[in-house]
Structure 1
Amino acid sequence: MQPTTSQAPRRQLYTAEQRARRDATRWTLVQAILAPLQFAVFAVSLGLVLWYLATGEGYTAATVSILLKTLLLYTIMVTGAIWEKVVFGKYLFAPAFFWEDVFSMAVISLHTAYLWALFTGQPHETQMFIALAAYATYIINAGQFLWKLRMARLDMKAAQ
């Protein structure tokens, strides 16, 4: 006799009502535009930061790119909080996105620490290493976002 293993069904990311609100709000489109834009800026900026750290050249370009990445991050976080309020009724820490929001706070904190380092005149290398730490947390957070996107797609497939 073989043991039976039953997996509990995975909890759906969205209820039917939440999915309807997600699909109806313009903030979903805003997030869909900002997320890949932010990633593209991140990729270029990462290259510029690494170039500066390797060669000592291109500090201004690296700095401008980090500032642009930070501006996009703040924008996507504000619009994402609005999206979360529309879909889940809470600006942040809705159960379906709790850990993504927690990690987003670390991402924002490190980007803000970079701004502090820049505006208080910390050494250029210190600024760049803080930016790299911010980018490392951003990569993890982006991975969380992609995982949730995959879960939403699996939920849609299961519902059909």
Structure 2
Amino acid sequence: MVSLMEHGAGHGRYAGRRHSAALRAGDCSGRPAYSLLDALVDRVAPCPWHASAGSRAPLDPVAEDAAPPALYTAEERRRRDQTPWTAVQGFLAPIQFVVFLVSLGLVLHYLSTGSDYDLAAGSVVVKTLVLYAIMVTGSIWEKKVFDRYLFAPAFYWEDVFSMLVLGLHTLYLVALWTGDLSGTPLMLLALAAYATYVVNAGQFLLKLRAARLQESARQRTALTGAV
């Protein structure tokens, strides 16, 4: 029994050293996944380091001083990891993207053929409703993490551009409801709204990728200091 326990303990120490070495080398597979959003960002913007990377070059003090501030404080990170609204955002974001792709295809199909107008127009309505859902739940998430519903410093410009996205999608609904626009002009308005959505989605992905890299760097620094 003692021999088995010693073997298990030795194996645990060996695994711990492998885990620490992987993180010091920049292996992102050693870090814990903290949300569905993180998994989504990892698909779009994977970690730039590899497990086979060599020893890390000495850090440049000037570069360290010029590093951007962390996206989350320790308390904000804790709240982000604990709130269920993080998972809600991670669930809705890919759904909205799939709806966007389907609707974009239908809109382009109408513009190129002149057929299936009702289907294309209805798909943009569905996309707008999903956008409203993610905007409302995103505001709740921001309140839970940053204690404000909109324009938290960490996501200020992303929220500002989101207002343009929301405005153009809403303008589409108004134009469709009132009949002020129809046919090609209405579909062109939908494309303008979709263009802003793509830009805004890119903003959020880049910001979340930066947060993921900061988290990896923080873990490596903590492990390096502990060794």
- By the TM > 0.5 criterion, same fold? yes
Q: Which runs of 5+ in 1 are unaligned?
A: none
Aligned AA (2:73): T
TM-score by length of 1: 0.95
Match of 1:131 in 2: 190
Aligned AA (2:78): A
Please say if 1:115 is aligned against 2:173.
yes
Q: Which runs of 4+ in 1 moved over 6 A?
A: none
Q: Find the aligned partners of 2:136 and 2:151 in 1 and give their Cα distance.
A: 13
Q: Find the aligned partners of 2:92 and 2:145 in 1 and give their Cα distance.
A: 18
Give the total of aligned pairs.
157
RMSD across aligned positions (CA): 1.2
- Is the CA contact (8 Å cut-off) linking 1:110 and 1:130 kept in structure 2? yes
Match of 2:7 in 1: none
Aligned AA (2:117): Y
- Is the CA contact (8 Å cut-off) linking 1:27 and 1:82 kept in structure 2? yes
Question: Map of 1:48-87 to 2, 5 A cutoff?
Answer: 48-87=106-145
TM-score by length of 2: 0.67
The 3-state SS of whatever aligns with 2:62 is coil
Q: Which runs of 5+ in 2 are unaligned?
A: 1-59, 220-227
Q: Find the aligned partners of 2:70 and 2:185 in 1 and give their Cα distance.
A: 43
Deviation at 1:149, TM superposition (A): 1.5
The 3-state SS of whatever aligns with 1:6 is helix
Counting aligned pairs with the same residue, the percent is: 63
Deviations 1:104-138 (A, max 9, x none): 00000000110011011122211111100000000
Q: Find the aligned partners of 1:135 and 1:73 in 2 and give their Cα distance.
A: 11
Aligned AA (2:188): F
Of 153, 156, 159, 2:215 maps to 156
Match of 1:141 in 2: 200
Q: Find the aligned partners of 1:52 and 1:60 in 2 and give their Cα distance.
A: 9
The 3-state SS of whatever aligns with 1:107 is helix
Q: Find the aligned partners of 1:6 and 1:31 in 2 and give their Cα distance.
A: 36
